[in-house]
């Protein structure tokens, strides 16, 4: 019976660790848009000139 509790505890610890790594990655900018600047550079709009 204690092995079930141990496995549940290990699963919760691993899940919490994965969640913390995901939150760290989001806060550090790992999921920022890398394709956007490439397409904005090719945009023909002249926003500075009228």
Q: In Å, what is the CA distance from 43 to each residue of 4, 19, 37, 50?
A: 58, 38, 10, 16
Query: What per-residue confidence (pLDDT) applies to 46?
Result: 65
Residue 30 Cα distances to 10, 15, 17, 19, 41, angstroms: 27, 20, 17, 15, 22
- What is the Cα–Cα distance from 2 to 46, expressed in whole angstroms? 68
Query: Is the pTM higher than 0.85?
Result: no
pLDDT of residue 13: 98
Identify whether the C-beta of residue 31 lies closer than 8 Å to the C-beta of residue 25.
Answer: yes
pLDDT tens digit string along 1-50? 999 999 999 999 999 999 999 999 999 988 888 788 788 888 776 666 55
């Amino acid at each position: 019976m204690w092995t079930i509790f141990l496995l549940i505890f290990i699963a919760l610890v691993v899940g919490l660790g994965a969640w913390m790594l995901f939150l760290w990655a989001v806060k550090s900018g790992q999921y920022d848009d890398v394709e956007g600047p490439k397409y904005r550079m090719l945009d023909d709009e002249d926003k500075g000139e009228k």
